[in-house]
Structure 1
Amino acid sequence: MLSLRQILVAVDNHDLSFEAARAGADLAIQVDAQLGLVHVIPFGQVEGNPDTGIMPEVETSLARTRSQALFKQIEQGLPGLKPAHFIAIGHAPEHISRVVDDWPADLLVIGAHRNHRFAQKIMGTFAEHIMHAVHCPILLISGE
């Protein structure tokens, strides 16, 4: 039988992340599990721009501040839970998988974004990449 002690939700600024967080929170309350939120900042958002005087360290600090603000915004819609926070920089499936293993999460909740169909055919969807990267059950919250 599946035991859910820790539920991890991968979040970004997409509306589906907020829905995924609510679904994860509702489930955490029902089964008395701890909730965690993970946000992965893509490398491209922390490269900086030396031509404008913005160094990578500054961009990284700003990106981490934005991640914390995202967590706070998401938590406003959650019923009295205090989730654990995880922020990483890099390739999302790799870092989400690492958090799943290290925390460890018994369930991962993600929102299924609708990407451009051509890109999906070439690269696959984010959900497909995650399914191959993590070693726990995944709850996929789908949009229209």
Structure 2
Amino acid sequence: MFKKILVALDNSPHREAVFEKALDLARATQAQLMLCHVLSAYEDGSPGIPIRSYQAYYPVLEDSTWRLYQQRWEEFEAQGIAQLRQEQEIAAAAGVTAEFTQVTGEPAAMICNVADSWQADLIMVGSHGRRGLSELLLGSVSNYVMHRATCSVLVVHPTTDAASTPAPATASATA
């Protein structure tokens, strides 16, 4: 069974569900977890991509803008580490051995790289459920990982409220 599970976590609302499913599986199989967050300029909460002009008219403003961007990026990094530490503590309280890493780069490729270097048996990754044009423009991390990882991959799809919504009552005819 699985002994080393890499859990790819982003800043989406789906993060908690991916973490909880990974924690449940790790408990059931007595596996270790590697909580992995990839810092990306395209992620929710990121300060984005720095835009610097090579012909700045006001170098002082250009420098202050760059410093502000760097400060925001450092805050983004610190928030990622804090979230990973909190999830590591939750795992420890549940009796699961967990470690974490935060890397910077293209998320799909970095997830595969970390899984290889850590020798993971399984990668758990969330799906945003993108289809069509949005998948083409934004890409699909889970699709990339499924096709390029050297270990098994479990894709956690977003849950819908349909499971918690009661089925509509059917009318019955009485004669």
Interval of TM-score (by shorter of Structure 1 and Structure 2): 0.7 to 0.9
Structure 2 equivalent of residue 24 of structure 1: 22
Say whether the 8 Å CA contact 2:31–2:96 is kept in structure 1. no
For 1:120, which of 111, 135, 152 is the aligned residue? 135
For 2:107, which of 92, 101, 121 is the aligned residue? 92
Residue 57 of structure 1: how far off its partner (Å): 5.3
Say whether the 8 Å CA contact 1:93–1:133 is kept in structure 2. no
Say whether the 8 Å CA contact 1:43–1:91 is kept in structure 2. no
RMSD: 2.6
Aligned-partner Cα distance in 1 for 2:129–2:18: 15
Structure 2 equivalent of residue 7 of structure 1: 5
Q: Calculate the TM-score normalised by the size of structure 2.
A: 0.68
Say whether the 8 Å CA contact 1:12–1:70 is kept in structure 2. no
How many residues in Structure 1 have an aligned counterpart in Structure 2? 142
- Return the letter of the residue paired with 1:52: T
Q: What fraction of aligned residue pairs are identical, expressed as a percent?
A: 24
Q: Calculate the TM-score normalised by the size of structure 1.
A: 0.81
Aligned-partner Cα distance in 1 for 2:10–2:103: 12
Query: Aligned in 2, Cα 1:61/1:122: closer, same or farther, shift over 3 Å?
Result: closer
Structure 1 equivalent of residue 60 of structure 2: none
Aligned-partner Cα distance in 2 for 1:93–1:76: 26
- Return the letter of the residue paired with 1:115: R
For 1:136, which of 144, 148, 151 is the aligned residue? 151
Aligned-partner Cα distance in 1 for 2:71–2:97: 28
Q: For structure 2, which runs of at least 5 residues remain unmatched after alignment?
A: 52-62, 161-175
Q: For structure 1, which runs of at least 5 residues remain unmatched after alignment?
A: none
